[in-house]
A and B are shown apart, each in its own frame.
Chain A
C-alpha cells in the first residue's frame, strides 16, 4: 500500500524531471525534451496521488499535505497545457517551480495529519479556487512587466506593436483565469455562506480588479497601438489585484471579512 512514507520515491523523480524540463526549455531551447520531461513528471506525480487514493480508500483531500498534492498537480497540469497552447517558456518554468515548492514543503514540513480547517473551508471548491488564482496572478504579473516595458519605450518613441499584442494576450488569459476563480468562489460561497455575492470586502476588491481589467480590454478593442493611459491601466489594475490579494486584510472595511484568516 502506498502511503506518505513512499512520497519521497515519487517526489524526487518528479522534481528531477521538472528541473530538467526547465533547463531544457531555457538553456538548451529543446521544446520536445521539455514537453516529454514535464509530462513524465506529471504522470509520476499523478500515479502517486492515484495509488494513495486507492490505498486510503478516500480522495486525498483532507489534510493540508493532501491539499498541497492537488496544488502541485493542477499547477503543473494547467501550466503544461498553457505552455503547449501558448509556447511561453516562462509559464512552464513558473508553474513547475511553484509546483515543486509545494512538493518541497510536503517533504520538509509534512502536515499529514488532519488540519484544523474550519468547516466552511472544507470544500471541493477550495483547491480549484486557489490554484486558478495562483496562475492568474502569474499571467497578470507578466502583463504588468510587459506594460512597464512598453511605457518605458514610449519615451524613446519606439512603439512595439508585437509586445502590445503580447500584453493583450496575457491580460486576456489572466483575466479568463481570474474570472474562473472568482465564479468558482461564488458557487462555493453559495454552498457555504448562503449567498453567491455579499460584497464582502475581498469580493468588493475582486470586483474593482475585474472592472479595471475589463476597462483595459474594452478600450484596447478600438486601439491599434496602446496609449499611455491604457498601459497605465494594466499597472493600476495589478495594484488593485495586490490589494485584493493581500492589502484587504489591513483595511478598516475588512474587519468582518470571511476571507481574513488568522495566520
Chain B
C-alpha cells in the first residue's frame, strides 16, 4: 500500500475493468487533451462563434437529456464513472495544468487573431481546454444528478456549491460565445449609436446614447524635486513625491523643507510668474511655495504649476541642478450624464461612473474613458457596452456558490471516518474498501 501511486487508485483491479477509477479517468482525460492538441495543430484554435445561441442551448439540452437518461439507470457503470470522484479529480487536475500554462506564458488577446501552433498562448481558446471544460460540466451534472437521486436536506451545502458551480460554468461558457463588447465614443451634446468592436470595425447598435455632460474631479497633485537635465525625480529609483496638503503645509523632500504658502486647484497664469484663481476650462492646479535647503539654509520662493493642454508648466529652480516640480493630477472621479435610448423605446437618464454601470435589457453600460490630454475639459466620453444574455444565470450560480462557501467555513469538515460519503451502490462501496 505504501508503494502504491496514490493517483492511480486500486492495484487489484486490471485496466478498464469496471468500476473505472483514477487510472482510467486520468487516461481518458489525458486522451481528451491529446485529441484536443491534434485538433489544435490541424485546424487551429476553437472558434467560439460555432457555439453561439442557439447552438449552445441545444448542446446543453442534449447534456441534460443524456444525464437524465443515465439517472434512470443509476447502476450503469458509465454513470458511476461520470459521477465519480476520480473523474472530478482528473478533470480539475487537467484544468489546473492548463491554467498553469496560462499563468506562466503570456496570453495573446482574442482580438490579435494570432497564436502559436501549440495554442499555449491562447489556452482558453484551445481545443484541449474546451473539451476538458465540457467534460467537467458533464461530470458535474452527473454528480449533481446522483446526489439528487438520493435527495437529503442535510446536503444543502453540497447542492449550493455544486449546482452553483454548474450554473456558473454553463452560463459563463455560453456567455463566452454570446458575449459582445463594444466601445462607443460620444461628443458632449451628441447622440451616438455607432460603436467599435475588438477588431476596430464600426458597427451600428440597437442602443443609442446621448451625452449631456462630462464631469471630472482630480486629486490634488504631488510635488517632487527633479533633475533639471534628465527630468527624473530625486532620488533616482526611489522618487519622493509628496501630495500637497493645505492642512499640513510644511514637509520635506530630499533635503528641502517645503512650505505651501498658497494652493489654487483651478488657476490660470496672471503674469510671467504669478497665478490667480479662476475656475474655467483650461485652468490647472498651481501652488506658491518656499523651499529651504536644510544644509545651507538658502531659500527660494515661487509658483509651481503642473500645466495642461492650455497652459505651460512652471517649475521652481532650487539650484543649478535641481528644480521643484508639480505632477499632473490623478483622476479621482469621472462621470457622464447620459440618456440611453433602447429598441424597446425606453429612454433612461443615468449618471455613469466607474464602478456604477447601468444595466438595461441585456446590456451593461460602463464609463470607459475620456480625452486624457484635456482631462476635466474633455469634450467627449467613451462607454463600454457589454451584451451578456447569460449574466443572470451566472449571478444565480455565483450567489449559490457564495452561500455554499459560507456554509463550508461555518460547518467545516463534518466527516467522521467515511460516514458522509454517499454510498450509492455496492460497486462503490467495494471500490472504497479497496482504496482504504
Task: Choose among B95, B331, B413 the residue that contacts A118 (Cβ–Cβ < 8 A).
Answer: B331
**Contact between chains at B354 and A113 (CB < 8 Å):** no
Number of interface residues of B (CB under 8 A): 63
Q: Which residue of A lies closest to B123 (CB)?
A: A199
In the complex, chain B residues whose CB is within 8 Å of the CB of A215:
89, 92-93, 96
Taking a contact as CB atoms under 8 Å apart, the answer to whether B85 and A192 are in contact is no
Q: Does A253 contact B (CB under 8 A)?
A: yes
Residue B406 at the chain A interface, CB threshold 8 Å:
yes
In whole angstroms, how far apart are the Cα atoms of A229 and B102 in the complex?
Answer: 25
B242 contacts chain A at the CB level, 8 A cutoff = no
Q: Is B415 an interface residue (CB 8 A)?
A: yes
CB < 8 Å: which of B85, B332, B354 contacts A221? B85
Q: Which residue in chain B gives the minimum CB-CB distance to A227?
A: B6
Within 8 A of B (CB), among A160-202: 165, 168-169, 171-177, 179-180, 183-184, 186-187, 190-192, 194-197, 199, 201
Q: Are A196 and B394 in contact (CB under 8 A)?
A: yes
Complex Cα spacing A228 to B7, Å? 11
Q: How many angstroms between the C-alpha atoms of A221 and B422 in the bound complex?
A: 10
Check if B172 is an interface residue, CB within 8 A of chain A. Answer: yes
- The verdict on B432 contacting chain A, using a C-beta distance below 8 Å, is yes
Interface membership of chain B positions 343-369, coded 1 if the CB is closer than 8 angstroms to chain A and 0 otherwise: 000000000011111000000101000
Q: Are A168 and B415 interface neighbours, CB within 8 A? A: yes
Please provide the chain A residues from 204 to 227 with a CB less than 8 Å away from any CB of chain B in the complex: 204-205, 207-208, 211-212, 214-215, 218-219, 221-225, 227
- CB of A177 within 8 A of CB of B409, answer yes
Q: How many A-B residue pairs have CB under 8 A?
A: 154
Question: Nearest chain A CB to B109's CB is how many angstroms away?
Answer: 9
**A168–B104 alpha-carbon span in the complex (Å):** 29
- B99 touching A211 by the CB < 8 A rule? yes
Indicate if the CB atoms of A113 and B355 lie closer than 8 Å.
Answer: no
Q: Which residue of B lies closest to A200 (CB)?
A: B107
Q: Do A196 and B103 have beta carbons less than 8 Å apart?
A: no
Contact B412 A169 (CB under 8 A): yes
A119 touches B332 (CB 8 A): yes
Q: Is B245 part of the binding interface, using a Cβ–Cβ cutoff of 8 Å?
A: yes
Interface stretch, picked from B186-194, B203-211, B318-326, B397-405, is B397-405
Chain A residue nearest to B365 in the complex (CB): A194
Provide the main secondary structure of the chain A interface.
helix
Q: Is the CB of B334 within 8 A of A119?
A: yes
Residues of B174-227 whose CB lies within 8 A of A: 179, 181, 219
CA distance A150 to B231 in the complex (A): 57
B288, chain A: closest CB distance, angstroms: 20
User: Which of A86, A184, A204 has the largest count of B CB atoms less than 10 A from its CB?
Assistant: A204
Contact B105 A120 (CB under 8 A): no
Taking CB atoms and an 8 Å cut-off, the chain B residues in 305-343 that contact chain A are: 330-334
Chain A residues lying within 8 Å of B114, measured Cβ to Cβ, are none
Q: Judging by beta carbons under 8 Å apart, are B398 and A187 in contact?
A: yes
On chain B, the residues within 8 Å of A222 by CB distance are 85, 418, 421, 432, 435-436
In the complex the two chains form, what is the Cα distance from A191 to B365 in whole Å? 10
Contact residues in A for B405 (Cβ distance below 8 Å): 175-177, 179-180, 183
Bound together, the chains give a CA A197 to CA B168 distance in angstroms of 11
Q: Is B78 an interface residue (CB 8 A)?
A: no
Q: Write the chain A residue with the least CB distance to B93.
A: A215
- Mark interface residues in A104-122 (1 if CB within 8 Å of B CB, else 0): 0000000001101011101
Q: Are A211 and B384 closer than 8 Å at their CB atoms?
A: no
> Is the pair B354, A119 in contact by a Cβ cutoff of 8 Å?
yes
Residues of B within 8 A of A116 (CB): 219, 243, 330, 332
B46 to chain A: closest CB distance in Å?
A: 15
The interface centre, meaning the residue of A169, A173, A179 with most chain B CB atoms within 10 A of its CB, is A179
Contacts A191-B356, A192-B355 given: A86-B85 contact, CB under 8 Å? no
Name B245's closest neighbour in chain A (CB-CB).
A113
Contacts A/B (CB < 8 Å), 19 sampled:
A116-B330, A119-B334, A119-B353, A119-B355, A122-B355, A173-B412, A176-B405, A183-B402, A194-B384, A196-B394, A208-B103, A215-B92, A215-B93, A218-B85, A228-B6, A229-B7, A251-B104, A252-B106, A253-B107
The 5 A-B pairs with the shortest beta carbon distances in the complex, nearest first, are A176-B409, A176-B408, A119-B354, A179-B405, A229-B6
